[in-house]
Amino acid sequence: MGYAVAEAAARRGAAVVLVTTVDRPPPPGVTDVVRVESAAEMADAVLGRYAEVDVVVMAAAVADFRPKASAPEKIKKAGGPPEIVLEPTTDILAELGRKSSCSTLVGFAAETERLVEQAAAKMAAKRVDLMVANDVTAPGSGFEVDTNQVVLITPDGTVRELPQMPKIQLADAIWDRVVPELPR
């Protein structure tokens, strides 16, 4: 979905910075690609560039937790399963919501239950301008498919359900909602 959003923005003439963990060629028109491997690297890349952009579009949660410590070498089976202690990752979208230089902040919320309720709560907590929420358990929606079905939620409580469509068309629908709100 992120690649579709980047492609649609570039097609409209935007200078796009794509921060990605995915090892695939960038979409047409996207030349500024920052490849990262971890949530911490993504936080550094996004927070380091947010002041340079007019719109940020990203997942509401890249990863909620990470292992507190990593093993310096292979963990051997003989010792039995290790205890893994987790710690929270930086909530990148919430950090951006606390900043004010980005004119528009769009978050994606992948949910499995109470779609609108959960996504609206994330939108308020993270202070975003538009939340794009989808039920990742729905057929043809979410990850590893070329289609998606979402609900657009705004801070004033407006909820607009979009039908299932190819991700590139959905990206255009999102930009159709965002672009008119941008300062001229």
pLDDT tens-digit readout, 16-74: 999 999 899 999 999 999 999 988 999 999 999 988 899 999 987 778 888 898 888 88
- Contacting residues for 52 by C-beta, under 8 A, at least 6 apart: 17
Domains and CATH numbers, the chain: 2-65+85-181 (3.40.50.10300)
pLDDT, tens only, 113-153: 999 999 999 999 999 999 999 998 888 887 888 999 999 99
Kindly give the interhelix angle for 2-11 and 167-178, rounded to the nearest 10 degrees.
60
What is the SS3 assignment for 46? helix
Half-sphere exposure of 60 (CA within 13 A, CB side): 22
